[in-house]
């Protein structure tokens, strides 16, 4: 009987998996946030893709692309709209009827060309006045017209202080303000004017200085 019992037990024996003495630990991975990577008209783009600039160095990654908040365009947009409807207002007073034939059309064409030029100039000034924050430096691109621009940059290790201001009802509601960056370089102060989320921008630059991102 004992021999039979032992034999049957060995046949039906089930193997139990062994538990390793040490379980390998996985290192936590840092998750990067992504901004308006595909919005070319965005004023706050975090880790933008398909964006480049002339003096970009090999291995230099763009952390931030900034423009003035779109709400800053309201003033010139309203002026442009007023310029568009101005001829209709003037025509109600009979101004064009008193002009020789053809003169009214010439004045209208010249006026609308002026309106288009005004609107295009203001849009280009907003679109091409940009600020870059990269893994190596900060860059301020000041666009004045199609044939002249000024580019200033400073390495991150030259930055001494980063502050931001955001005052007033409109700036508070739409969350935009100015950032002032003190450096020890040739350009002692950089100004990022009217940019969205200035607190986040300042935090990102400060984190770059301490190598936290």
CATH class of the domain at 44-68+129-209: mainly beta
**Structure confidence by residue, pLDDT tens digits, 147-203:** 888 999 999 999 999 999 998 899 999 999 999 999 997 888 999 999 999 999 999
In this structure, what token pair is assigned to residue 20? 């390793």
What does each C-alpha distance from 147 to 102, 113, 142, 152, 206 come to in angstroms?
35, 20, 12, 17, 34
pTM for the structure as a whole: 0.76
Give the contacts of 161 (CB within 8 A, at least 6 positions apart).
181, 182
**Structure confidence by residue, pLDDT tens digits, 129-162:** 999 999 999 999 999 887 888 999 999 999 999 9
* Higher-confidence position of 1 and 169: 169
Cα separation, 140 vs 182, whole angstroms: 13
Cα separation, 39 vs 41, whole angstroms: 5
- Other beta carbons less than 10 A from residue 48's beta carbon: 21
pLDDT of residue 200: 95
Cα separation, 145 vs 54, whole angstroms: 17
């Amino acid at each position: 009987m004992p021999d039979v019992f032992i034999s049957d037990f060995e046949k039906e024996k089930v193997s139990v998996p062994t538990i390793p003495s040490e379980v390998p630990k996985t290192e936590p991975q840092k998750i990067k946030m992504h901004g308006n990577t595909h919005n070319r008209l965005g004023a706050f783009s975090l880790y933008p893709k398909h964006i480049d600039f002339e003096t970009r160095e090999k291995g230099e990654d763009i952390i931030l692309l900034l423009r003035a908040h779109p709400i800053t365009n309201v003033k010139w947009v309203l002026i442009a709209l007023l310029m568009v409807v101005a001829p209709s207002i003037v025509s109600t007073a009979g101004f064009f009827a008193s002009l020789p034939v053809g003169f009214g059309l010439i004045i209208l064409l010249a006026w609308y060309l002026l309106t288009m030029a005004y609107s295009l100039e203001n849009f280009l000034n907003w679109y091409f006045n940009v600020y870059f924050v990269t893994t190596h430096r900060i860059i301020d691109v000041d666009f004045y017209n199609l044939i002249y621009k000024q580019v200033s940059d400073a390495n991150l290790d030259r930055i001494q202080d980063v502050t931001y201001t955001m005052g007033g009802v409109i700036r508070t509601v739409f969350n935009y303000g100015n950032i002032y960056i003190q450096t020890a370089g040739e350009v002692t102060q950089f100004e990022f004017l009217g940019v969205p989320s200035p607190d986040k921008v300042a935090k990102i630059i400060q984190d770059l200085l301490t190598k936290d991102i």
